[in-house]
Amino acid sequence: MYSVMMKRLLTSACSLFFLFCVFTSCRTNDVYKTPKLTQFRGKSLPAPPGMTYIPSGSILYRTSADSGATSKSITLSAFFIDETEVTNRQYRKFVDWVADSIAVTNYLNDEKYFRKADGESAVRYIDWEVVNKSSPLYNSSDPSVREKLAPMFVLRGDQQVLNSSLLKYRFTYMKAGGADEGTYVTDTVVVMPAEGIWSKDFPNAQMTMMDGNYFYHKSFDNNPVVGVSWKQARAYADWRGKEIASSLEKNPYLKGFKYTFNLPSEAQWQYAAEGKSSAADSSRKKGSSRGNGKLAVNFKQGEGKYAEDGSTFTLPVKAYAPNAFGIYNMAGNVAEWTLDAYSPSAIEFVNDLNPVLLYDAREQDSEMSKRKVVRGGSWKDPGTMLNSYTRNYENQNTAHSYIGFRCVMSAMELPGNQVKSRRYSSR
């Protein structure tokens, strides 16, 4: 009798255990059903506006064009990069955003420009949907608005112009290098391009027309912004990353990822310039009106020969043909800031995967520690400056009429054809 009861109990327990296993497996089985790797249909990800996708790849990283220069093979993971240099029109949008922020918070103090606070929160946030309808506010035709914003202007000659010293952008980042490396620091940067930069760069030359019109007149809207320091370029990149964040959430392929927006590293810049390690932009040819082959690049073609490429100064950012990646003017037009700190021997100690040399110098640091790498050559440079290897440097606080920039954004990897599921081969 006892043995029969034990058998029944064991049978019942086994049945309950079986049912428990079936029940729990129904709930968790999907976790262990790992799908085979499938390929993304397409060779690139849909890029944010104005950018293009650069797939991961390897290049020979060199410090100069000399055949005996130090070099190493490096790999870059995927990223997005601007198709063009940042234009005057794009940078003015940044300046106007900063001006609108100051106008709303410091001078107008009108509740219609703020979103309604949630609950009992004392924090007020600008309602940009409302502000953008009248942006830039400093150009408002409303006399009451103009009266309140009068302190934002200064008199220059017989014109009222924005006081550039008021237009500052504040952003926070993790500091690289120095005593407080790894801590978060906040920078406040004046955003207006340097005034009179053309005359400063070219003394004893007539440049007043360029000084007075280049950044402001609509005829230069699509030319690259100049007169912007490395710190100002980083400020713009920080702002732009925040500005497009909402649009990224509408992109089904980019939604939910945490991306970083910045200046390109030296290595990213070189890789993008070479276009899949093929010839750089500077090797592309175009026919002149006389049938002669000429470099399709905006540069100085000999002593005093600035106009033989079609323009004396800069050109619109989509002048000439793009390279194999679809990127314009990686050589010539304007030289470009990169993220890297300058060191003649950087290639010796940077990593062979996504190399970059970062150092955020303080204002009290030495001038040498403030050097940042410039790449690409410009409209006023000779042809020797146009290859993808040549590097130069400038102080992080210095601006010139021949240096601009473009931005990059991190991207996720797309699996290549090599990693598709396939039968094992013994060969």
Percent of the chain at pLDDT exceeding 90: 62
User: In the chain, helix, strand, coil percent, each to 5?
Assistant: 30, 20, 50
The reported pLDDT for the residue numbered 42 is 61
- For the chain, list the domains and their CATH numbers: 60-87+191-410 (3.90.1580.10), 89-176 (no CATH)
Chain centroid to Cα 198, Å, comes to: 25
Residue 16 has pLDDT above 90, yes or no: no
How far apart CA 12 and CA 315 sit, in angstroms, is 85
Do 403 and 419 form a contact (C-beta atoms < 8 A)? no
DSSP-derived pairing of the beta strands 71-76 and 57-62 = antiparallel
- Dihedral pair phi/psi, residue 212, rounded to 5°: -85, -15
* Amino acid sitting at position 188: T
234-251 residue pLDDT tens: 999 999 999 988 788 777
Do 407 and 80 form a contact (C-beta atoms < 8 A)? no
274-308 residue pLDDT tens: 986 333 333 333 333 333 445 579 999 888 899 98
The 8-class DSSP code of residue 260 comes to: -
The 8-class DSSP code of residue 137 comes to: G
Residue 113 has pLDDT above 90, yes or no: yes
188-201 residue pLDDT tens: 999 999 999 999 99
The reported pLDDT for the residue numbered 296 is 77
The reported pLDDT for the residue numbered 424 is 54
Tell which residue, 404, 407, 426, has the closest CA to residue 197.
Answer: 404
Residue, of 39 and 236, whose pLDDT is higher = 236
Contacts (Cβ under 8 Å, ≥6 apart) of 28: none
Which neighbouring-strand residues pair with 171? 187
Side-chain half-sphere exposure of 31, counting CA atoms within 13 A:
5
Q: What's the alpha-carbon Rg for the chain, to the nearest Å? A: 28
206-241 residue pLDDT tens: 999 999 999 999 999 999 999 999 999 999 999 999
The reported pLDDT for the residue numbered 38 is 58
* Amino acid sitting at position 237: A
Using 50, 70 and 90 to split pLDDT, how confident is the model at 28? low
Residue length of the chain: 427
The reported pLDDT for the residue numbered 245 is 85
Using 50, 70 and 90 to split pLDDT, how confident is the model at 37? low
Residue, of 78 and 21, whose pLDDT is higher = 78
